[in-house]
Amino acid sequence: PNPSFGNFTIDLKDIKASVKGIIFYDNAGRILQEHKNIKGSSIQINASYPAGTFFVQINTDKGFAIQKVLIGQ
């Protein structure tokens, strides 16, 4: 869900490219979590951070996508 109130799951099963990594970072661009060598069709993000705006970047062999994530109180 977006906004999230804690941990959330990123579903990767509909991505038509090979996922190389996932980066979770804050509004200032600081990397908070980085996941490499992704195996499976989903990944859990443990987002026990203060309320605010964050971003998830999914890197694939064909490029990347960025999604804004809101974390509420």
Asked if residues 45 and 58 have their Cβ atoms less than 8 Å apart, the reply is no
Tokens for 23, please give them: 């980066």
Tokens of 58: 């999914």
CB atoms within 10 A of CB 25: 16
Counting DSSP H helices and E strands in the chain, the numbers are 0, 6
Per-residue pLDDT tens listing for the chain (73 residues): 678 887 889 999 999 999 999 999 999 999 999 999 888 899 998 878 889 999 999 999 999 999 999 998 7
61 in Cβ contact with 17 (< 8 Å): yes
